[in-house]
Structure 1
Amino acid sequence: KKMYNWLFSKRYWISLVILLFLTVNQYHGSSIAMFDEYVQTGQGTEYTQPVLGTPRAIRSDEWLVYTPNRLSAQYGDDAYSQYNDIMRATATPNLLAGNMFFSYASLVNPFVIAIFLLGQTFGQSVVWYGTIILTFLVSIEMCMIISRKNKLVSVMGGCIIVFSGYYQWWLGINVVGWVLGAQGAIVCGYHFIQSKKISSKLLLGIGLGIAIAYFVTSLYPAWQVPVGYLFLGILIWIVFENRNRIKCFSFWEWVILVCSFLFAISLICYYFYADIEYLKSIMTTVYPGNRISTGGEGGTLSKLFWWFYNPLFQMPGKNFINPSEGGAYITLFPIPLIVALWYLIKEKQKDILTVILLIISLFLGSYILLGWPEFLAKITLMSYSTSKRAVDILGITQVYLLIAVLSRFKPSKKVPQLVAIAIIGVVLPIYILLNLQKFPEVGVPTKYIIFLSVVFCIFSYGVMVELPKRVYTRIIICLSVFALMTGIFVHPIQKGFDAVYSKPLSYKIQEIVEVDPKAKWLAIVESIVPQQFLVANGAATINSTNVMPNLELWNTLDPTKKYNDIYNRYSHVTIELTDGETTFELLSLDSIKLNLSYNDIPKTGVTYIYTEKPLEEKDNFKCELIYNEHGGYIYKIN
């Protein structure tokens, strides 16, 4: 107990030491070792592979798009400026490369300042693990507010949130930045109210401004909109509970608070100003800008039960189709919901926070299950969210409800044992059936199903009935450990970026870029991977991932805009040379193929071509082979 209390009281200093250790060793959690599967396999140093763990191909948004784009920002005389000429081989806002614009906008995500100061290798360690560690600490603080400072339950809540399948499988591309931003804003705001020192309030005010800006600029409305409603409800509860303290604020307290919001607004406005070209472009795309949702996909509610199999997602030899979409929070749903209703109705307990969480659950649940009229979805902005995204926010609402149930009610008034057993008997088969139905692609051992069923029964029973304190404590500890094991092995521990920079091809690309930095490249390959390898090495590549459509180029190749609905989208781009006319094909929502006529190559302005097989010269196409090694070819167009 002494050790636990010491660890808890020193958690910020311990976290700082851990982050320092990880940074000095250049460790990060990117699955960038996947490049070794596609580009000159087996070439490079021993650190092309992780020090520990397994790179995940499914996390392509991170290792294939986000990380190479971030690496591309370091090249050229105008490194980390507003625009990056390497992505898409045309001016692209560097904010799209993970906030790689060294300016006032950097304060939106202060971790990236480490990249500007320490370089990519050390800096990305800070970005990766600093984000995880701070989110864990902030999640504990958030749960401390909900649980009335119950340390054990709060640590459990922190483990459930940060090591959930949902958070870990989406981590690394900023779309889950709301977890830190929204919780951080509430935590800073709450302690601003509670604190009596002006110096503390000043620091909390700065933190509040940055947290709000961090949340707003994560730019993923599908999660941001429902999250906004959840935390608005929590904010209303905090203001109501502390209304007397707020009424007694001094003049300077109000000044600091107002300045915090002005600080947040200034950061947001500057960020959007610097990113205005992207915002205008993406809002007019076919995908994702043209998407309107009204909910009504009731089947997505089953995701609340999928945590049952989440620990298997990270196990070697288990090939789930899409664990990112299957990632969920451990909520024990619907147990906390039932217990909360039991307290409020049967025992006539009054708790405003629990009531608000139940209202938010009903709000989101109705949108997901029944759907709303289009006009209602639009005026509430829920049209920006889909059922399969809103259900994730319903999930964290259930986590907060679980924290509330475990800490905010008198243990003497629990659910009767027979009722609890009956509820578990009804819910457990639903868990097993829904999980087997959702993940039929993997043969799950019967032993695992039995083990998880026992775990679920014990945890659920502990939530519902009155137990001796020692037993209750052990159940909470076991639930924390189980939550930790659900997501801790999702990411590998990777040292540096040798998976890219120790390849012979990398040396050659950078040698060419050094001599001919403004030259444009394209990759003629069947895969979408080598294009991003070129980008990571500073080669301006026209068919790198179009995080925003390069309409100037596409319209040059398609002057009649016949294929506008195909290329006007966020897209991965593959290119095949053809003797016929230039055409575009839609391969999937975010993937297109350009059949590029040899006659149209000059229109692209390309000087270098990377391919994985020899190119044939034509009467209208002449090129010179300047590199051929380990399955990689580079041609210079004459």
Structure 2
Amino acid sequence: MREETMKNGRTLLKYILYAVVLAVLAEFMMTLDYHSLLGAHGNSNQQLTLSMKDAELVNCEIKDGKVTAAGEDPQLIFKDINQSVSSFQLGLKSLSSSVLDVRVYYAASGEEFSEEKSVEFSYYENQRFVTSAINGEVESLRVDIGDQEGDSYVFDELCLNPHTLTYLKHSFANLSGLRIFLYFIGIFLLFLAAQDFGRFCEMAFRYRWVIGAIVIAFCTILKLHGSSIGVLGELLTGRDVSRVWGTSRSIRTDEYVVFTEMALSQVRSGFHWFSDVWGYTPSDMFIVYGQPVLNLTTLFRPFSMGYILFGAERGLAFYWSSRLVICFLVSFEFGRIFTKDKRMLSTVYAFMISFAPVVQWWFSINELVEMLIFGQLALIILYYYVRTDSLKRKCIMVVGLVICAGGYIMTLYPAWMIPLFFVFLACALAMILEDRKRIHIKKQDVLLWGAGILVLAVSMVYIFSTSMDTITAEMNTVYPGARTYAGSMGDFDRLFKSWSSWLWSFGDTGNPCEESDFISLFPLGMVLSLIALVKSKKKDLWLIVLNVFNAFLILFFLFRMPDLIIKLSLLGHASYRLYNAIGLLNIILLLRSLAASEKTAANFKLFLPVAIVTAIMSYWGNTASITPAFKVIILISVIGVTLLLLHFEKKEYQMAFAVLMISVNLVGGGLVNPVCSGLDNVYKLPVVQQIEKLNSQEEGMWVVTGDAFMYENLPTVVGAKTLNAVATYPDEKLWEDLGLSDQDQYWNRYAHVSVEIGDETKVGLGAADVLKVEVTAEKLKELGVTYVLSLQDMEDTTGLEQVGEANNFTIYKIA
């Protein structure tokens, strides 16, 4: 026994060592600039290293070991270099802000410094060295670092003509410890899985909830999240300093411009239901975008509680990681129910839901993830409720059902919540019919359910009465207003989007969010389910019920329904997003069919013609957004999936199908959002730091002017009240005080409010959700505005005094 323990210990240490080495190597290979490395290797010029003792200081001085700008245009001048320079490496430390602008001028003998012979770049605080090319004769160098008084840094060295070993040494200094750690975790787990895959899977299954909790804690502690808010840093400084992996999605403005910044503003303003920071009059933060509020009703939005418990950065990390992990685990548990505990298919289902392109493109907005979690969790609770006689467990389950019902209602996005409700209703009905012999209603059940319904009703009455004015205002807007959908054959091609929606994580289309869906392989699941019903002697109640609901939803999606059905079903509020619910239902149909009979596809001769029709529809549909190359990929996908399903009775084909579906979802959904750590990409922006400093010295209301669609909420992230923060519903008091109350055809809408300071006060439309407002400085002063944050030069505007400048923004104070 002792010998076995020692052997296992040695194996574990070996894996740790291998994982550390491979993790460092992976990070080094990923960050290495191969073009510069080749240049260093081919460099035959003499290497020269310059330090501060070689520099002449102009408009800057040494303070506490740092070079500090003492005025405008700070310079370091290096003379008597007198050699050919192919490239250089500049090393700085302890920057005074997250990014400093650098320009390096070089001049040959007898020449003066000029912009024609200069190199410009941004230096970020998480870098140690930056490499750039010169390729010319150099007698003297001038290095301008920073652009305003007070900018400071520690000058490490300036290496001219770095040779290969020097370049490699400096490259190691730029490695990310966080990425190395994450690589190490992944590689180490791969080693463990490879050693004994069966045992690894068994352990993962047994401790799945513990592992999930560890992953959430891990991400929260390391501040890992998937917000694209780093786009702001990229636009203002050229780089997202918080991004670890992946690509920020600039199209997700409703996430990082509105939703995430609203959450950050709540952290700074005290988690009030009605925020004094967001907009002119107190704005309802709970009912519209479901922001964290210090109130018991936040139990219906448990994932936002991270902001209250852990603050902004870790709250954001908790919000992203907990929803993904819980969605995955809940989907797995629900998959075990309808696949008859086929763990491989349940795992596939968990990936097909939590990493579905539609889920990831809409991950942090409109609460689609919450709908999937609460809907499936309610079904799981119902499943186990009829399998227990314990009163204590039933009490806990009823509490869980109340939270699920309340949480689902509070998503408040009818376009998804209503059609998805039909999917969950179909599953609930199938479960009830299958378990009808188990169901025995007792007096205690009636009392428990009655108490649960009462608590839910009281909670909803409290919430909706508190926000009744908000709800009334929102329901009576011009945009988005009341939506009605009655079906359209023109949307037929949307049913086949599952075959292409995985492409948009790396492909190009106009709006990938609207092109995304669950990768349901429609209509193969529907066909396989019908085959299973025909071939099976004992009719599968799940497949019967799901097909009935599937047929109804498809018919409603494609054809004009009678008004009575539209009103009774409420599906008129669904819009074309109904096809996403059809996609979810067809995933369940597909996997239930494969679980019910592994030989379903192999025994059905008409399956190939159906697959061919699917290929044609997927290939030719959506011609406007799919390139010929992508159409070929889709065609290959259809053929590949068809071959796997035709031979699904063989274990190796089942495993290949599982690997394929997991991989496609990880590519199509898992690569959508970036992986970032913390919010330095926001809080360390010089303009944000100036806003916070000024507002702390003299608190006041801000207005963002100019073409600043992306930045209109920026002051709110540090708790600065902002007049034209996004109007999630119309603020009648603002327009009344502006004297524009009769212009409600413009302002009565969800809107981004673009403000210009001019000679009169008027409002118009820039787009359906963009208001163009012109207002005088005097009127802004009357409204109580203190500061103006602008991308425009308004130095000559009467009544404005410049008090700050950063990131191309100028900050004015209204005199």
With structure 2 as the length reference, what TM-score do the two structures score?
0.72
User: What's 2:500 paired with?
Assistant: 309
Q: Would you say the 8 A contact 1:405–1:463 is kept in 2? A: no
Q: Would you say the 8 A contact 1:47–1:496 is kept in 2? A: no
Aligned CA distance change for structure 1 residues 163 and 11 (closer, same or farther; 3 Å): same
* 2:303 maps to 1:107: no
The one of 611, 614, 617 equivalent to 2:793 is 614
Shift of 1:421: 2.5
Q: Would you say the 8 A contact 1:374–1:383 is kept in 2? A: no
1:110-129 aligned at under 5 Å gives the runs 110-129=302-321
Shift of 1:294: 3.3
Q: Would you say the 8 A contact 1:344–1:350 is kept in 2? A: yes
1:452-471 aligned at under 5 Å gives the runs 452-464=634-646, 467-471=649-653
User: What's 1:344 paired with?
Assistant: 533
Q: Would you say the 8 A contact 1:339–1:464 is kept in 2? A: no
The one of 727, 738, 742 equivalent to 1:557 is 738
Q: What code does the residue aligned with 1:179 have?
A: L
User: What's 1:399 paired with?
Assistant: 587
DSSP-derived class of the 1:81 partner? coil
Q: For 2:215 and 2:532, how far apart are their aligned partners in 1?
A: 41
How many residues align structurally?
616
Q: For 2:213 and 2:756, how far apart are their aligned partners in 1?
A: 50
User: What's 2:423 paired with?
Assistant: 230
* 2:460 maps to 1:285: no
Gaps of 5+ in 2: 1-197
User: What's 2:620 paired with?
Assistant: 433
Q: Would you say the 8 A contact 1:628–1:634 is kept in 2? A: yes
Which range is displaced more, 500-509 or 608-617?
608-617
Listed one character per residue, the Cα deviations across residues 208-266 of structure 1 (whole Å, up to 9, x for unaligned) are 2111111100000111111222222222222222233221x554444444433334334
Percent of residue pairs identical: 25
Aligned CA distance change for structure 1 residues 99 and 263 (closer, same or farther; 3 Å): farther
User: What's 1:92 paired with?
Assistant: 283
1:5-84 aligned at under 5 Å gives the runs 5-38=202-235, 40-42=236-238, 48-76=241-269, 79-84=270-275
Q: What code does the residue aligned with 2:727 have?
A: N
DSSP-derived class of the 1:264 partner? helix
User: What's 2:661 paired with?
Assistant: 479
Aligned CA distance change for structure 1 residues 630 and 335 (closer, same or farther; 3 Å): closer
User: What's 1:540 paired with?
Assistant: 721
Q: What code does the residue aligned with 1:378 have?
A: K
* 2:606 maps to 1:422: no
Shift of 1:347: 5.4
User: What's 2:771 paired with?
Assistant: 592
User: What's 2:703 paired with?
Assistant: 522
The one of 361, 382, 386 equivalent to 2:550 is 361
Q: Would you say the 8 A contact 1:106–1:113 is kept in 2? A: yes
Higher helix proportion (structure 1 or 2): 1
Q: Would you say the 8 A contact 2:602–2:645 is kept in 1? A: no
Q: For 1:166 and 1:414, how far apart are their aligned partners in 2?
A: 28
Q: Would you say the 8 A contact 2:593–2:600 is kept in 1? A: no
Shift of 1:547: 0.7
Q: Would you say the 8 A contact 2:601–2:607 is kept in 1? A: no
Q: What code does the residue aligned with 1:32 have?
A: I
DSSP-derived class of the 2:517 partner? coil
Q: For 2:648 and 2:725, how far apart are their aligned partners in 1?
A: 58
Shift of 1:451: 4.7
Shift of 1:59: 0.9
Listed one character per residue, the Cα deviations across residues 274-321 of structure 1 (whole Å, up to 9, x for unaligned) are 332321210111112333x13222232322322333333122xx3321
Q: For 1:454 and 1:467, how far apart are their aligned partners in 2?
A: 22
The one of 570, 573, 582 equivalent to 2:750 is 570
Q: Would you say the 8 A contact 2:528–2:590 is kept in 1? A: no
Shift of 1:396: 0.6
Shift of 1:484: 2.5
Aligned CA distance change for structure 1 residues 346 and 630 (closer, same or farther; 3 Å): closer
Listed one character per residue, the Cα deviations across residues 65-93 of structure 1 (whole Å, up to 9, x for unaligned) are 000011111224xx112221111132012
Q: For 2:736 and 2:639, how far apart are their aligned partners in 1?
A: 60
Q: For 1:598 and 1:198, how far apart are their aligned partners in 2?
A: 67
Q: Would you say the 8 A contact 2:332–2:346 is kept in 1? A: yes
Q: Would you say the 8 A contact 1:93–1:274 is kept in 2? A: no
User: What's 1:270 paired with?
Assistant: 462
1:182-331 aligned at under 5 Å gives the runs 182-247=375-440, 249-291=441-483, 293-315=484-506, 318-331=507-520
Query: Which of structures 1 and 2 has the bigger CA Rg?
Result: 2
Shift of 1:184: 1.5
Gaps of 5+ in 1: none
Q: What code does the residue aligned with 1:264 have?
A: L
Listed one character per residue, the Cα deviations across residues 392-414 of structure 1 (whole Å, up to 9, x for unaligned) are 11111111111211112x34554
Shift of 1:450: 4.2
Shift of 1:576: 1.6
Q: Would you say the 8 A contact 1:308–1:431 is kept in 2? A: yes
DSSP-derived class of the 2:244 partner? coil
Q: What code does the residue aligned with 2:671 have?
A: F
Q: What code does the residue aligned with 1:434 have?
A: G
Shift of 1:112: 2.2
Q: Would you say the 8 A contact 2:803–2:813 is kept in 1? A: yes
Q: For 1:390 and 1:376, how far apart are their aligned partners in 2?
A: 15
Shift of 1:50: 0.6
DSSP-derived class of the 1:628 partner? strand
Q: Would you say the 8 A contact 1:161–1:167 is kept in 2? A: yes
Q: Would you say the 8 A contact 1:304–1:328 is kept in 2? A: no
Q: Would you say the 8 A contact 1:543–1:573 is kept in 2? A: yes
Q: What code does the residue aligned with 2:363 have?
A: L
1:147-166 aligned at under 5 Å gives the runs 147-166=339-358
The one of 759, 762, 783 equivalent to 1:604 is 783
Shift of 1:188: 1.6
Q: For 2:367 and 2:302, how far apart are their aligned partners in 1?
A: 16
User: What's 2:682 paired with?
Assistant: 500
User: What's 2:521 paired with?
Assistant: 332
Listed one character per residue, the Cα deviations across residues 486-507 of structure 1 (whole Å, up to 9, x for unaligned) are 2111111111111111011112
Q: What code does the residue aligned with 1:546 have?
A: A
Q: For 2:739 and 2:372, how far apart are their aligned partners in 1?
A: 42
Listed one character per residue, the Cα deviations across residues 167-225 of structure 1 (whole Å, up to 9, x for unaligned) are 11001124302111211111122122223444433332222211111110000011111
Q: Would you say the 8 A contact 1:301–1:391 is kept in 2? A: no
DSSP-derived class of the 2:805 partner? strand
Q: For 1:345 and 1:416, how far apart are their aligned partners in 2?
A: 11
- Cα RMSD (Å): 2.2
Shift of 1:136: 0.8
Listed one character per residue, the Cα deviations across residues 354-411 of structure 1 (whole Å, up to 9, x for unaligned) are 122112112211221112234432232122121x211111111111111211112x34
Q: Would you say the 8 A contact 2:501–2:519 is kept in 1? A: no
